[in-house]
């Protein structure tokens, strides 16, 4: 394994917990007809691996959860009674963690490994013994990794209740006493609330959130008002403006019904903008921040059919 990837795994909590909430996120998104087909493919591969891990050589293939009912009855019974494995259990979004049957071959994908390394593992001095906020968390991965790496306190936010519920469950399973974290239903575009959430934070994480909003300047003004020591930004890097020395924002129309995309209360589509590095450098310099680290990554996401897969992945770390 790549030594950088092993370094991430050395700083990870039990992967079974992230597999558990990842399954929940998939099941929450499964009813959405607009989801990316590549998302289904990745999760169907997880189903197949789970079945193959218990499959006897004499058993037929079972490529999807829907195929489980077509297996011979004695195989179904063995799966359920001996292995606690079935389509009903695999597709149950409410199954408790202690009844969840994990796949021992399940791994973090490259996208997660890269972003965790660049945002957290390479910046542990901004995480350990610090008060951290992760805005627009998807299902709580960054927040839980921060807790695991000795953050003093972590706040995670999301505007989407279903995602925040999953994030809160992961954090509470990791830390049942709940005294070191808070999950907040919040829209980063509500600037007064965003400013208030940052008032006692040492480190702010903006991981793939500043490319799905509109009021970029207002958000950064609200975040920097209380002068956090470190701001960690991960963003897509649109090629048309990536290398420009002018502070620019690239705009596109995005589907609001998909969990990891732009949000609007009522409209099925919304315009979102993605700033380039020069934009962040210029704006944050106005509030006394200097660029400490700058990394451009070439990687594919698990949502490979998404147009953003054509963009580079940018990690920027700013300090006061």
Per-residue pLDDT reduced to its tens digit, 199-243: 999 999 999 999 999 999 999 999 999 999 999 999 988 899 999
Calculate the alpha carbon distances from 14 to 9, 87, 181, 231 in Å.
Answer: 9, 24, 18, 27
* Over residues 265-292, mean pLDDT: 95
Q: Is the pLDDT of residue 192 over 80?
A: yes
pLDDT of residue 268: 87
Give pLDDT, residue 302.
Answer: 47
Percent of the chain having pLDDT more than 90? 76
Mean pLDDT to the nearest integer, 77-90: 93
Bridge partners, residue 153, by sequence: 131
Contacts of residue 228, defined as CB under 8 A and 6 or more positions apart, other chains included, come to 198, 201, 202, 203, 204, 320
Q: Average of pLDDT values for 82-105?
A: 90
How far is it, in rounded angstroms, from Cα 308 to Cα 303? 9
Helices (H), the chain: 3-10, 15-29, 37-54, 73-83, 87-90, 110-119, 141-148, 161-174, 191-197, 216-224, 239-242, 277-286
HSE-CB for 60 with a 13 A CA cutoff: 13
Residues whose CB falls within 8 Å of the CB of residue 25, separated by 6 or more in sequence, listed in order: 138, 139, 163, 166, 259
Q: Is the pLDDT of residue 308 over 60?
A: no
Confidence at 101, pLDDT banded by 50, 70, 90: confident
Res 80 pLDDT > 70: yes
Q: What is the pLDDT of residue 202?
A: 98
Query: 44 versus 309: which is more confidently predicted?
Result: 44
Q: Is the pLDDT of residue 35 over 50?
A: yes
Backbone CA torsion sign across 244, 246, 247, 253: negative
Six-digit token string for 101: 């049957």
The sign of the CA dihedral 232, 215, 273, 166 is positive
Q: pTM of this prediction?
A: 0.92
Q: Residue 127 burial by CB count (10 A; 0-12/13-18/19+): exposed, middle or buried?
A: buried
Q: State the chain's mean pLDDT as an integer.
A: 92
User: What per-residue confidence (pLDDT) applies to 310?
Assistant: 55
Distance of CA 180 to the CA centre of its chain: 20
Which candidate, 158, 157, 134, places its Cα nearest to that of 263? 158
d(CA 18, CA 183): 17
What pLDDT does residue 300 have?
57
Spell out the domains of the chain, with CATH numbers in brackets.
Answer: 15-99 (no CATH), 110-319 (3.40.50.150)
């Amino acid at each position: 394994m790549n030594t950088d990837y092993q370094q991430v795994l050395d700083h990870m909590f039990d992967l079974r917990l992230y597999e558990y909430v990842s399954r929940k996120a998939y099941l929450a998104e499964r009813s959405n007809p607009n989801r990316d087909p590549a998302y289904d493919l990745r999760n169907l591969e997880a189903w197949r691996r789970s079945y193959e891990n218990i499959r006897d050589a004499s058993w037929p293939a079972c490529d999807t959860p829907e195929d489980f009912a077509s297996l011979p009855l004695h195989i179904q019974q063995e799966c359920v009674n001996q292995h606690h494995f079935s389509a009903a259990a695999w597709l149950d979004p409410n199954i408790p963690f202690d009844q969840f049957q994990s796949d021992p071959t399940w791994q973090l994908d490259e996208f997660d490994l890269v972003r965790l390394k660049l945002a957290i593992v390479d910046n542990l001095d901004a995480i350990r013994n610090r008060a951290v906020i992760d805005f627009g968390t998807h299902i709580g991965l960054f927040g839980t990794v921060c807790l695991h790496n000795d953050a003093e306190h972590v706040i995670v936010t999301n505007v989407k209740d279903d995602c925040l519920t999953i994030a809160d469950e992961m954090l509470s399973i990791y830390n049942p006493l709940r005294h070191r974290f808070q999950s907040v239903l919040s829209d980063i575009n509500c600037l007064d609330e965003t400013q208030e959430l940052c008032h006692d934070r040492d480190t702010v994480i903006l991981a793939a959130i500043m490319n799905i909003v509109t009021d970029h300047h207002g958000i950064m003004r609200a975040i920097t008002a209380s002068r956090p020591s470190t701001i960690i930004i991960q963003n897509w890097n649109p090629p048309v403006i990536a290398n420009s020395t002018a502070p620019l924002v690239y705009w596109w129309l995005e589907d609001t019904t998909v969990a990891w995309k732009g949000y609007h209360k009522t409209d099925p589509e919304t315009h979102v903008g993605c700033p380039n590095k020069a934009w962040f450098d210029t704006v944050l310099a106005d509030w006394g921040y200097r660029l400490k680290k700058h990394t451009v990554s070439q990687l594919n996401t698990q949502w490979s059919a998404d147009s953003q897969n054509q963009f580079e992945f940018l990690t920027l770390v700013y300090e006061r």
